[in-house]
Structure 1
């Protein structure tokens, strides 16, 4: 059973949640599990070059991001509560961060660790990154700090040669799944938010074990995630997830239609028109494709062409009138 932990490595509750998960699994007697860490960013607007945290807290954007991490508490209250919980979990009396880094590169290292060495190597890297940020109070936005961790775990060459695209796609996948906070545990399409007590985690794992869903082809899952992003008004994110499907399944009508909708929603009108003209030519009785083509032409100022498609679409489906 795969346990996904969607978390940000600058979230104190992720560090606490890691300890609580370890305690929950220490007494787990169910099927074998694999714990996989996935990326989440509580502060995606953090600068590439880190800044002192106390200074950052005077920035309304950073303050808002930290408030969203623990709703109902100020950043100071949240940090105090997290420090108390960290002490209870044995993370040390000096526990606490001093930097506001952008965590994209740290997530890149963590994702690389899983790709190269599986959950065991990834778990070690996650522990090193969390320890660097919260115990050693180092700047994990500094490439030198991450490169040092990568070298210690045998990943130096691979880390130097990879980019952040895979992490950006994972961030979009988490958003499509509905991940809203750090940490969030996801097992078999069920989610548990927050650093819950070990007993609660065990109960959740028992429920999730009994909830094994029907396995869908990876292409179907990707398509559904792209559609979720489009429903969340993130058409560019949807197109990012659709890109491999457009390459590998260029003839699939569902893929092409979703791409056309995303092009329209992101104001890529020429691409939308090209895709929709092809879909309408193949299926002249597809009222939705014809309606969307009419709207696309309308937005391009081609009103006469638009009118014919909009009229036909409304005749086939009165709701489009």
Structure 2
């Protein structure tokens, strides 16, 4: 069984959630592969980091806290976390000292998966931030924190390794509807928040049965659906980023080309949209949607006379498009 945990290493509930997942798995006695995925609760955190005490005076900090525990008010979120952490065997001491960017930490976590030391790296980073209260936004500190379990970290950080992988995973998480840290995903089911171990265990038990019955989708189909989801969320550039491998490997697929054309149109890359749509209409003249989108693209380019016949044909094929 594969379990994904989407979380931010600067979210205290992620550390609490990690302990609760471990307890839940211990009670189930089921073999499981835990994979850690990135989520950013504070994507505007500065580099270099700033003292967290100063940052918490900013009203914008309340929104970051709300993302961690949406059921608690900011005041409630700040008060009980140390006591809850203590019940999970975390601290004392407890508490972050820095408002630090977690981007480089997530790079290390992504790279550590390939090296087979991901869980150890996640544990080291969470402990460094919440127990040792060091600045995990600093690359030298990061390399030192994980050096015992991931000695290649310093070289990889300097080389900017893992940048593309983390950005793609963040887009995937957005496409899949990840909205809080932590979120546990098993198959196509998700459990948001650092829930009690018994709740997690019940969720995983149900997920084990569901995954056993579910036929997994090909990776290309999942990627296509994620790109489509991003486009529906009005993130055409994100959709195009996820479509890039599909365009390279399946560029002749009609659905892939149409989704890319829609994303180019939505992101005002009208030249690319025009070229793709002209080719699609030439190959599939009865595709009403392609006709209409080609017409709209031409209209936005100021070529209204060329657009008119495509709009007319599209409306004739599908009357709803004529309105």
Global fold match (TM > 0.5): yes
User: Aligned partners of 1:63 and 1:27: how far apart in 2?
Assistant: 35
The unaligned stretches of length 5 or more in structure 1 are none
Provide the residue aligned with 2:231 in structure 1. Answer: 230
Kindly state the Cα deviation for residue 72 of structure 1 after the two structures are TM-superposed: 5.0
Q: 1:160 aligns with which of 158, 161, 166?
A: 158
What is the total number of aligned residue pairs between the two structures? 317
Deviations 1:99-121 (CA, angstroms, capped at 9, x unpaired): 1111111000011100112xxx1
When structure 1 is superposed on structure 2, of 214-223 and 65-74 the one drifting more is: 65-74
Alignment of 1:114 onto 2:113: yes
Higher deviation after alignment, 158-167 or 213-222 = 158-167
Show the counterpart of 2:303: 302
8 Å CA contact retained: 2:277, 2:294: yes
8 Å contact 1:43–1:66 — kept in the other structure? Answer: no
CA shift at 1:214, angstroms?
Answer: 1.2
**Residue 89 of structure 1, CA deviation:** 0.9
Match of 2:121 among 120, 125, 144: 125
Task: Provide the rounded CA distance (Å) in 1 between the counterparts of 2:34 and 2:10.
Answer: 19
Contact 2:111 2:162 (C-alpha < 8 Å) held by counterparts: no
| Structure-2 residue corresponding to 1:147 | 143
State the alpha-carbon separation in 2 of the partners of residues 290 and 48 from structure 1. Answer: 48
- Does residue 18 of structure 2 align to residue 18 of structure 1? yes
Give the Cα separation in 2 of the matches to 1:58 and 1:259: 43
1:185-224 aligned within 5 A: 185-212=184-211, 213-224=214-225
- Write out aligned runs for 1:1-321 (5 A): 1-30=1-30, 32-117=31-116, 121-153=117-149, 154-156=151-153, 157-161=155-159, 162-212=161-211, 213-321=214-322
CA distance in 1 between partners of 2:71 and 2:33 (Å) = 33
CA distance in 2, matches of 1:266, 1:163: 26
TM-score scaled to structure 2, two decimals? Answer: 0.95
Counterpart Cα distance in 2 of 1:62 and 1:271 = 40
What is the distance in 2 between the residues matched to 1:135 and 1:29? 29
Instruction: Please give the alpha-carbon distance, in whole angstroms, between the structure 2 residues aligned to 1:84 and 1:4.
Output: 27
| TM-score normalised by the chain length of structure 1 | 0.95
Q: What is the distance in 1 between the residues matched to 2:65 and 2:198?
A: 27
Root-mean-square deviation over aligned CA pairs: 1.3
- Residue 267 of structure 1 and its aligned partner are, at CA, apart by 1.1
Show structure 2 runs of 5+ residues with no match: none
Which whole-Å deviations, capped at 9, do the CAs of 1:181-237 have from their partners, x for residues lacking one?
Answer: 000000011111111111111111110011112111111111011001111111111
Could you give the per-residue CA deviations for residues 224-273 of structure 1, whole angstroms, max 9, x where no partner exists? 11001111111111000000111111111111000000011111111111
Deviates more, 1:76-85 or 1:166-175: 76-85
